[in-house]
Amino acid sequence: MERIAVLGCGTMGHSIALNAAWAGLSVKMQGISDADLEQGWTNMLKKLEVMLNNGILSDSEAAQIQENIKMTVSVEEAVTDATFVIEAVPENIQLKIDLFKRLDALCAPDVILASNTSGLSPTEIASETAFPERTVVTHFWNPAHLIPLVEVVRGEKTGDEAVERSFQLLKQMKKKPIEVKKEIPGFVGNRLQYALFREAQYLLEEGIASKEDIDDAVTYGIGRRLPVSGPLMTADMGGLDVFSAISDYLFQHLSSAEESLPILKKLVEEQKLGDKSGEGYYKWDEDFSKQYNQKREEELIRFLKKDLGIQLI
């Protein structure tokens, strides 16, 4: 059984800690201050309440999760006796380089050092460590306690043991790990996600369809198929001759933009940042925000119940 240290208790950190504790693992969750830890703990309790209300957890399981997590503001205390460290600090490369250099000195050489980065280079993160072979990326997807996917990304010097132990741990946490064999900007998931987002921006920019209809094309079309088959299996099911012919014709007409398109840039310049600012592509008043965040969470819970073999009501 790995003993887990989670460094950072923000959006991803407390959710990862919850997931590890749910798997019966001993977890130390570190925050930069008592206030930071209190906020992380409060956010985790809210998630537990939703899981309880949806029949995913029993009262005793929720209590055990809380019992499995210890909190500290000290990095040194968090990693004492840890066998697997998961870093979930802000996406700043120098911050991560400095932290991994510090962890490299604090932890025995057989302790795995994993970063939750969504796109930064594991090779660069480990660049000032003495044992870069034990550094790996384990990119959990938000919300980490509900989405199964975790991308396990090799750096240039990442060893097989770091990858194998990451897979063992993630499977114990009931995750669906995939191996990214070569580091590449955006890894796998974000490259696919942003290819779709680029085309969505282009279609809106060119006035091809409204934002609502572009979103509906995914929600009620592609999105209904994706839970069963990804893009390569979908091509197999549709016939590779057909998909090859369409690719030959359509690829030349797809967006090849190398940066955000003007509508998105204008929204950002005007500080219309979406849900967090009250307006983006859509207007996000309190009711609208609550409605769609709850709807997405309920759908993710429905999928999680299927994964766990819990009967759907």
Please list the active-site residues: 118, 139, 151, 190
CB count in 10 Å sphere of residue 108: 10
Say how far residue 236 (Cα) sits from the centre of its chain.
28
Report yes or no: 150 and 176 within 8 Å, Cβ to Cβ: yes
Report yes or no: 177 and 153 within 8 Å, Cβ to Cβ: no
- For the chain, the three-class secondary structure string (H helix, E strand, C coil) is CCCEEEECCCCCHHHHHHHHHHCCCCEEEECCCHHHHHHHHHHHHHHHHHHHHCCCCCHHHHHHHHHHEEEECCHHHHHCCCCEEEECCCCCHHHHHHHHHHHHHHCCCCCEEEECCCCCCHHHHCCCCCCHHHEEEEEECCCCCCCCEEEEECCCCCCHHHHHHHHHHHHHCCCEEEEECCCCCCCCHHHHHHHHHHHHHHHHHCCCCCHHHHHHHHHHHHHHHCCCCCHHHHHHHHCHHHHHHHHHHHHHHCCCCCCCCHHHHHHHHCCCCECCCCECCCECCHHHHHHHHHHHHHHHHHHHHHHHCCCCC
Amino acid at 115: S
